[in-house]
Every structure is written in C-alpha cells, then in structure tokens.
Amino acid sequence: MKILVTGASGQLGSTFKALVEEDKVQGLDFVFKSSSELDITDYDAVNEELISSDYAYCINCAAFTNVDKAEAENELAYRVNVSGARNLAMNCNESNTILIHISTDFVFDGFITTPYLEEDIARPIGFYGDTKYKGERAIINNLEEHFILRTSWLYSEFGHNFMKTMIRLGTEREELSVVYDQVGTPTYALDLAEVVLHIINAHSIEYGVYNYCNEGVASWYDFAKAIFDGYKIDVDLKPIRSEEYPTPAERPKFSVLDKSKIKTTFGLQIPHWRDSLSVALNAYSKINI
C-alpha cells in the first residue's frame, strides 16, 4: 500500500521516517512530503499529489501547533489547521484515499474533572484549539473514510517539544519553575505512530474520531520532574500556578482523554507515559551523544 505523509519534517512525521529507515515497517510504501514540498493550504497542489498517485492512505501530520503564536497569527493557523484539513478531505474523497488526521486535546476547555470522551462537547478556549476542532469538522463534512486521532502533550526525540526543551533548559539553568495545575497525559510520538500503523494494517473501516494518548495522568511539573530524573539532570524544580506563568494562549486545566473506544475497537494495550518516557529519553541520548 502506498501512503502519503504530510508535514513530514515535524516530530510525528520524523517518527514515521525513522521507523521506515530502521526497516520496522513492512509491506507499506511511504511517500514523505514536508510542508515546503506539499503545502496543504494549496488546494491545487494537494489535488495534483493525490490524484496523480494511487495512495491508499494519507496521514496528515501537517499542522500549525504553536499554541501561543496561533493567538497572533490567526490567518496562518486557520489556513493550515482548517483550510488545509478541508483540502485534504475533499481530495481524499475524490481519489478514494483514507485520511488519518491528528488532532488535539485542546479542542476541550478543561473545565471538567473526568476524562473526556470522544462525544463530549468540544469547547476550545484558544485559537489553536478552535482551528483544530474546525479542521475536524471540515474532514467529517467532506470525507466519510477518515480516522481522527485526538492526542495530547506529544513529545519525541525529534522536532520541538516539551521533553527536549526541558533537557536544554535543565542543562543551562540551576533553577526552573513549571506549572503544576494543568493536568493531562504526555504521549510519545512513537506510540502514536505505531497505533496509526496498527489501524492501517488492520484494514479497519471503523472510521471516526478516537482519543489516543499514553496511560496515566500528570501535571507539567510531574512531567518535567520525570524528565530530569530520567536524564539525570540536577536542577532545582519549583511548582507554580498557571497565573504565575502567563502565556498568550490559555491552556485547559484538565485535558485527560478517555481511551476506552480506541482500546476496545482495536484491541490495544497502551503503555504508561512513564515507561514510554524512558524509551524516549534513551532514544534521545543515542542521537545526542
């Protein structure tokens, strides 16, 4: 099967690339397109790519993911996250390509204290979350054969993410402050990529929206502490409230996702975030010796 990966230079796209390069993906022909090679906001470019090739699947890893910049760069965030998603959906429909789209826990407002189900009402509190939710709706309204995977706190040894930022800051500073009143679940990109491959290899037609993240719950403070402990970084880490670290975009205070649907549908065993973090830190150390 031929599979198109958009946004291939980001951390999830890079994870798929690494799996292919390490010969861990059998029987699948991947075509990787970075944002500079395929601009999903360009309808004609997307049409040409999908219509000219016999893709069975398109994995959309392209997104405007800078939560704070989205508050200032509204137009660009909307074009990538909404118009880009619509372009892919419409052209996947025309080319009979199944779309696997990555979304986010930020579609929820974080005002409840029980894990979010797929059918819970989406009420984004920031522009990034709003565009991601509108991108979901654009796909649902234009393409039946889709999988939308909502994930949270994605990190890996590739790209820009919280784990790599903490390692850098922890080695540069003696003291750091991280918020402890925002709760969610760190998700290792490799685990998410393997779930996507599982869905493809299963030839599933159970289309729809699914939550996927690692098991367990953490605050950003907990996540940072685990990173420093795992990577043997000695830094004075202090917990603070969100009000003490103001950002342009408001974050959900609670964005834990219920994964019952995806576990039941696909028979998944999901690793705990602490176990996956150990794997990620080991992978990071190997490429940063």
Task: Quote the tokens at residue 123.
Answer: 């009420």
Q: What is the pLDDT of residue 101?
A: 98
Beta bridge partners of 61: none
Residues near 94 by beta carbon (within 8 Å), at least 6 away in sequence: 47, 50, 51
Q: List the domains of the chain with CATH numbers.
A: 2-160+185-215+256-272 (3.40.50.720)
**Using an 8 Å Cβ cutoff, are 52 and 229 in contact?**
no
Q: What is the pLDDT of residue 219?
A: 98
Parallel/antiparallel/unpaired status of strands 146-151 and 98-104: parallel
**Residues catalogued as catalytic:** 128
**Using an 8 Å Cβ cutoff, are 179 and 239 in contact?**
yes
Q: What is the pLDDT of residue 82?
A: 98
| Residue 170 to residue 180: CA distance in whole angstroms | 17
Residues near 235 by beta carbon (within 8 Å), at least 6 away in sequence: 170, 173, 174, 175, 176, 228
At 6 the three-state DSSP class reads: strand
Over 183-246, what HEC string results?
EECCEEHHHHHHHHHHHHHCCCCCCEEEECCCECCEEHHHHHHHHHHHCCCCCEEEEECHHHCC
At 271 the three-state DSSP class reads: coil
At position 193, the amino acid (one-letter code) is: A
- What is the pTM assigned to this prediction? 0.97
Instruction: Give the H/E segment covering residue 57.
Output: strand 57-60
Q: What is the pLDDT of residue 98?
A: 98
Task: Quote the tokens at residue 17.
Answer: 């690339």
Parallel/antiparallel/unpaired status of strands 183-184 and 218-219: antiparallel
| Residue 259 to residue 163: CA distance in whole angstroms | 23
**Count of other CB atoms within 10 angstroms of residue 219:** 17
Q: What is the pLDDT of residue 288?
A: 86
Question: Any idea which residue has 């289309």 for tokens?
Answer: 207
Q: What is the pLDDT of residue 17?
A: 97
| Residue 5 to residue 30: CA distance in whole angstroms | 7
**Using an 8 Å Cβ cutoff, are 131 and 64 in contact?**
yes
Q: Is the dihedral of CA 71, 73, 76, 80 positive or negative?
A: negative
Q: What is the pLDDT of residue 184?
A: 98
Tens of each residue's pLDDT in the chain, 289 residues: 999 999 999 999 999 999 999 998 989 999 999 999 999 999 999 999 999 999 999 999 999 999 999 999 999 999 999 999 999 999 999 999 999 999 999 999 999 999 999 999 999 999 999 999 999 999 999 999 999 999 999 999 999 999 999 999 999 999 999 999 999 999 999 999 999 999 999 999 999 999 999 999 999 999 999 999 999 999 999 999 999 999 999 999 999 999 999 999 999 999 999 999 999 999 999 998 6
Task: Quote the tokens at residue 26.
Answer: 């059998």
CA 23 to each of CA 20, 31, 73, 196, 256: distance values in angstroms, whole numbers, following the listed order: 5, 15, 39, 17, 33
**Closest alpha carbon to 208 in 282, 98, 134, 114:** 98
